[in-house]
Structure 1
Amino acid sequence: MKEDKDARWFELECVPKEYIFPMEYRPQNLDSPVCDSIPVIDLAKSKAANGHNSQPVEEILKASQEFGFFQVINHGMAEKTVTDAINVLKEFFDMQAKNTTGTVPHTKGYIYTNSTDFAKDGVHLWRENLKHACHPLEECVRLWPDTPTRYQEVIAAYIIEIQKLSSRILEMICEGLGLKQGYFKDTSEVQLLSSNLYPPCPDPSLTLGILAHYDPSLLTILYQGGSTGLQVMKDGQWVNVGANPNAFVVNIGNQLEIISNRKLKSVKHRVVNNTHETRRSIATFVNPSPDCIIEPAKHLVNELEPSLYPASQYKDYVLRNKAFGDYTAAIQNALR
């Protein structure tokens, strides 16, 4: 067994048929991918005299309009907080790989799925996943995995810092859109964590780590370290998101596209697999509160730019769009 191969994903010379997607879903041109061009934004750029980070604000708004994705560096999160989080998640997945009983833990507080549990139209994704709620943090943390023993403490510290970062980014987006300061203050929380393990794959052209989809969140903040695999749809082509070990990837979710009256884009994205490397990622979803009314901000609606979306409680939006699985069609179905 080669180093960095997960024990659950034993040496395979070919992809089992239950992991082979129909031709229309398979990734194309893996040998000659489109060059990475997702903007990387430095949040530590000097502040203007009025105290605002004018240049990063402009860069975030432009990236959100053109790509729906950007990366942030010099974000202020301690390297140890990030390293501890990715390491404890590695420990968790390693423990599942050593589980020889064939059972998978299911609790009220979290869901772990291995490759045989998560499928699309009878085809399995090439990944393992751990998902759990994060809000309210003090209540949720007690229901998270208790092994590794430091899991709850480490991930809680990570979530607290992600909340700070997401609030900072949302404030900058408010400034760029001309919305009042604190527009999202009482209506956005890090509500969900989704951690993924994508082991090496004998033939990535046949498989997918995650199907193409849109996010139903306000914002999604992803740590992927130095691993590749995330791709974004841009002008009908898949664009690779560069692997910057010190960056967080941020993408605009469906709710923020609605609130911005489509000034910002929620775009389709997916994860492709790799022949030699294991990819590990931590996705955190910043969502509105369930009872929050989601609609275009009144400041952004006028006779020349009428509202493109109906008002809806966030919980109703989610219920309506559950039929879309990963919410691939959710943004189109929110249109009037």
Structure 2
Amino acid sequence: MVSVPPLESICNKFLQVNDTNKLPAEESSNTSFCKDCELPLIDVVHLYHKDDCRNVECKRRIADAAKVWGFFQIINHGIPRDVLIRMQSEQRKLFEKPFEEKIISSSSGSCYRWGNPTAMSLQEFSWSEAFHLPLCHVPSLSSSGLNEFTEQVSNIAQRISEILAESLGCKSTLFAEICSQNSSYVRLNRYPPCPNFPKAYGLIPHTDSDFLTVLYQDQLGGLQLLKDGEWINVNPNQDVLIINVGDLFEAWSNGFYKSIKHRVVTNPVAERQSIAYFLCPTHETVIQSYCSPSLYRKFSFGEYRKQIQEDVKSTGTKIGLPKFLK
């Protein structure tokens, strides 16, 4: 039994139906079209430093990066290297299971997804597979590395969200109150080698629909973000975690913090893996701007997710926040 989903057969169908069904040059996943960049790198050890000046400066840099870039890197985040190594090993074993077993397995409460099976074109198709795991289901995997990672990365996400709220003069405990293990989740990603490189995305361009995302990626690279109208490569670094602002934080901050479009490119010969933590509220949570006049109307997280699903079904793509502008 094979472990890889039938990505190639689906991709080939799109190419056979219409030979022009390729990514345009400016949207191509080929990294030769993209610039390299170094995201803001912030040493968060200073958040726990007794020197108030360093502590204040660290918080300022986090808020500035969320405003200007929507993405930044943190170093000295406190997650030991051995935890990350064990987590990656456990992740590989999970994806090595036969494809049929991954499809039907539900004992862990996980949700297995691959390649956007409902995609209508190559532009909507992702050359990847993933497990979506609510935090409350992670312990059932008996995975010590993943357990330790999610516990620590959850604390990091909460701390970063507190800092971003404080910088706007708001209640710092807000996100701890509305985001829990029952609403937040992790996603384990695997991007197999792609013989159709650069005709397919590893993960299609998108913004994240949460408050904050914390990402740990391997050393292959492939993450790109849209900055000032250009796609740029995010260089991998095994010592950092990548933080990015999601749609909910942009709406709550009234556009002060930016939810930036990003994507993952394919690789013709090497496999890439990553793990992302998503800080999410309950579906009943109402999202509204912290100040007036608000750019966006009030909406619940459940309403937001439902609108995204409807848009993807009807248009093939996520529209997101523009649908909720006043």
TM-score, normalised with respect to structure 2: 0.84
Matched, 1:8 2:4: yes
CA RMSD of aligned residues (A): 2.8
Tell me the CA shift for residue 283 of structure 1. Answer: 1.1
Aligned to 2:218: 225
Aligned to 1:37: 38
Count of matched residue positions in the alignment of Structure 1 and Structure 2: 309
Aligned to 2:238: 245
TM-score, normalised with respect to structure 1: 0.82
Tell me the CA shift for residue 212 of structure 1. Answer: 0.6
Aligned to 2:65: 63
Structure having the larger proportion of residues in helix = 2
Aligned to 2:250: 257
Which ranges in structure 2 are unaligned for 5 or more consecutive residues? Answer: 16-20
In 1, distance between residues paired with 2:117 and 2:132?
A: 12
In 1, distance between residues paired with 2:59 and 2:219?
A: 26
Tell me the CA shift for residue 63 of structure 1. Answer: 1.4
Given the superposition, is the C-alpha separation of residues 166 and 279 from structure 1 closer, same or farther in structure 2, using an over 3 Å criterion?
A: same
In 2, distance between residues paired with 1:178 and 1:322?
A: 34
5 Å matches for 1:98-109? 104-107=103-106, 109=109
Letter in 1 for 2:209: P
5 Å matches for 1:1-336? 8=4, 17-18=12-13, 20=15, 22-24=22-24, 26-27=27-28, 30-45=31-46, 47=49, 49-50=51-52, 53-96=55-98, 104-107=103-106, 109-115=109-115, 118-123=117-122, 124-134=125-135, 137=136, 140-141=137-138, 146=141, 150-151=142-143, 153-189=144-180, 191-297=184-290, 300-301=291-292, 306-325=293-312, 328-336=318-326
Given the superposition, is the C-alpha separation of residues 26 and 242 from structure 1 closer, same or farther in structure 2, using an over 3 Å criterion?
A: same
Tell me the CA shift for residue 287 of structure 1. Answer: 0.5
Contact 1:295 1:309 survives alignment (8 Å): yes
Given the superposition, is the C-alpha separation of residues 8 and 185 from structure 1 closer, same or farther in structure 2, using an over 3 Å criterion?
A: closer
Superposed CA offset, 1:174-206 (max 9, x none): 222222332322012351221111122234210
For the residue of structure 1 that corresponds to 2:201, the secondary structure is coil
In 1, distance between residues paired with 2:29 and 2:306?
A: 33
Percentage of pairs with the same residue: 26
Superposed CA offset, 1:109-146 (max 9, x none): 1122345x635215442112111222xx2xx246x5x5
Aligned to 2:18: none
Superposed CA offset, 1:13-46 (max 9, x none): x995236553349525522521213212111137
